[in-house]
Amino acid sequence: MIIIYSPIHTHHNPPHEFLDGRFIKFTEAPIRAETIYKALVESQIAPIIPPENFGLEPIHAVHPKEYVDFLRTIYYRWVKNGGTTEAALPGIIPTRTLTRYSPSPLAQIGYYSMDISAPVTSGTYLAAVDAAKCALTGASWLIQGKEKAAYALCRPPGHHAAKDVMGGFCYLNNAAIAAEYLTEGHTKRVAILDIDVHGGNGTQAIFYDRPDVLFISMHGSPEWEYPYFTGYADQRGEGEGEGFTINYPLEQGTDDARFLGVVDEALEHIKKFDPSYIVLSAGFDTFKDDPLGKFQITTPCYETIGAKVAALGLPVLAVQEGGYAVSELGDNVVSLLRGLMKS
Ligand SMILES: [Zn+2]
């Protein structure tokens, strides 16, 4: 097991967000990753290394250059055009009837956003790129056969970000960037298992028409849980990718037994798919005391999940996604990694 972490994430620290109409302190705060890092150091579970540099090429393999350039420059253009210096946040999002592109920075932030949960600050781009580098470093170690398992402590998270859409605290899709890299130029099959309590809409969209990347997401049903408009069981991929997206919308109060039963089912699909690598989009907002989730998963359950994934005997890259019960977040991550190390 190798762990990859970069303190650059602290540069991304938006002051606030809107949640259910309330103007609140930003939930996806630096303390999350700092707490996880501290728990990993204390547990001495595995060596922790900084990310390597891969340039922008592997990021552009998933996110168009225009979008990455937007992310790099929008904060400064936003401020220059009269936006607040705290963070760029959309005032208008062009859905359905409003579809034309606008060159105005005040409009562009909405053009590339699916919600108002992804504020862009002066440090967001730097942090997002470094998070992607953490995931890529883990992927690279697996490709080189240096380790059987890697954990990328990514912040900001990524699974809500589609090719050119940000939202839900996510800007660049770390798991998707790593998965694309792990296909080794479309020569290897990769399975992504997303266990965050929220459906991985961004990852789903990125690989929706691809038969070489299996995407399985198990999450709170979009009938009552964010991101609401996606993650339904009948969304199964399209074209050549039909059947290579699998969604498990689950009920409120999902507990360890129910969740593990679905993990078993998901792993059966992965076994049949016969991938070379597994990417685990590791969200911990399934935890029973998470302020954003409505599941009842306990700390020991993450170890069981890890052990089940490890039992497939494939190289696995765990990528940090959500998880907002900060005081238990470190223990939950360590628990998952203990399981993953059982291979
Ligand atoms: Zn989540």
Active-site hit among 160, 186, 219, 269: 160
Q: Output the CATH code of domain 2-54+131-340.
A: 3.40.800.20
Domain chopping of the chain, boundaries: 2-54+131-340
Query: What is the mean predicted confidence (pLDDT) over 294-315?
Result: 98
- 73 C-alpha to center of ligand 1: Å? 27
Per-residue confidence (pLDDT) for residue 19, from 0 to 100: 83
Look over the chain and give the mean of its residue pLDDT values, rounded to a whole number.
96
Query: What is the mean predicted confidence (pLDDT) over 12-32?
Result: 92
For residues 336 and 303, the answer to whether their CB atoms sit within 8 Å is yes
- 238 C-alpha to center of ligand 1: Å? 25
Measured from the Cβ of residue 133, the count of other Cβ atoms closer than 10 Å reads 27
Q: Per-residue pLDDT tens for 247-257?
A: 999 999 999 99
- 80 C-alpha to center of ligand 1: Å? 33
198 is catalytic: no
- 187 C-alpha to center of ligand 1: Å? 31
Question: Sheet of 190-194: strands edge to edge?
Answer: 48-49, 2-4, 149-152, 316-320, 277-282, 190-194, 213-220, 245-250
Burial bucket for residue 274 (CB in 10 Å: 0-12, 13-18, 19+): exposed
Per-residue confidence (pLDDT) for residue 293, from 0 to 100: 96
Per-residue confidence (pLDDT) for residue 343, from 0 to 100: 66
Share of the chain above pLDDT 70, in %: 100
Q: Per-residue pLDDT tens for 67-114?
A: 999 999 999 999 999 999 999 999 888 887 878 888 899 999 999 999
- 82 C-alpha to center of ligand 1: Å? 32
With a cut of 80, say whether residue 172 has pLDDT above it.
Answer: yes
- 100 C-alpha to center of ligand 1: Å? 30
Query: What is the mean predicted confidence (pLDDT) over 279-299?
Result: 98
With a cut of 90, say whether residue 42 has pLDDT above it.
Answer: yes
Per-residue confidence (pLDDT) for residue 146, from 0 to 100: 97
Per-residue confidence (pLDDT) for residue 99, from 0 to 100: 80
With a cut of 80, say whether residue 116 has pLDDT above it.
Answer: yes
Confidence of residue 28 (pLDDT cuts 50, 70, 90): very high
Query: What is the mean predicted confidence (pLDDT) over 276-290?
Result: 98
Radius of gyration of the chain (CA): 18
**Residue of 205, 230, 224 lying closest to 292 (CA atoms):** 224
Share of the chain above pLDDT 90, in %: 94
